[in-house]
Amino acid sequence: MTQKMTHAPGTFSWPELSTSSQSGAETFYAALFGWTIEKTPMGPDAHYTIFQKDGAAVAAASTLQPDQVKQGVPPNWLSYVSVASVDASVEKAKSLGATLCAGPFDVMEHGRMAVLMDPQGAAFALWQAKNHQGAGLLDAPGALTWTELVTSDTKKAGEFYTGLFPWKSEVKPMPGMEYTIFKRGDASAGGMMALLPEMKGVPPHWMPYFGVTDCDATTKKATDLKGSVIMAPHDIPGVGRFAILKDPQGAAFAIFQVA
């Protein structure tokens, strides 16, 4: 368990859900992970949901904007990476082939952000902290424990992200595939794998993994709460057990039980 107030550059520090039903998502995730809810007003008819676990902020949610709905953007989890300078990182990302989707802009006194799409089409966000550092709890049940890129070109994606962030890549052979671990110094920053043949139609994306104490029980609970299963619980020998799920609104996420 890691309780943190600051995050080193290159750390996945904030998972944020954009959804078609904010109240529905609040009900689902509160019941699934034992999250409590803090609502921050965003104008007269909207709010930003902060999910908390054991008193620490662990994730957030907001309603998809009308222009996103018109563009066909589905409910999704967006992964934020902490950086020292959003503006400098945006320029670097563009020079490496990324597309700027939004920003850079200030989020009141909380920080500065931008949303980008990597050259293969996976969206991610940059966060330069001011008053809000990001998640106050990592690597614990109910908190972000891993973030994984599934992409159409692991070689080019690896070159992009190691060029943008203070990461190095470490390729590990696994049965039927290779898995890349992005390293920030000695720490693991995230993972990467290629889109598999059975994932036809799935676009490149970053997937957040949330820690659980019992993967199978949490998977069943998710279905009881009207979520669905994309991948049933699987073991990673010597590492842990995971499953990939969808919430009732259709946003995909993963759960992970440490071995």
The model's pTM = 0.94
Domain coordinates in residue numbering, the chain: 2-129, 141-258
DSSP reduced 3-state for 219: helix
Mean pLDDT on 84-113: 95
Same fold, 2-129 and 141-258: yes
pLDDT category of residue 196 using cuts at 50, 70 and 90 = confident
Please provide the CATH number assigned to the domain covering 141-258: 3.10.180.10
What single letter denotes the amino acid at residue 91? E
77 touches 67 (CB < 8 A): no
Q: Identify the CATH homologous superfamily for domain 2-129.
A: 2,3-Dihydroxybiphenyl 1,2-Dioxygenase, domain 1 (3.10.180.10)
Distances in Å between the Cα of 140 and the Cα atoms of 21, 88, 209, 233 are 27, 32, 11, 19
Query: Furthest-apart CA pair in the chain: how many Å?
Result: 53
Alpha-helical runs (H) found in 96-147: none
pLDDT tens column, 204-240? 999 999 999 999 999 999 999 999 999 999 998 888 9
The DSSP secondary-structure symbol of 141 reads: B
Residue 130 has which token pair?
A: 């001011």
Distance CA 177, CA 175 (A): 6
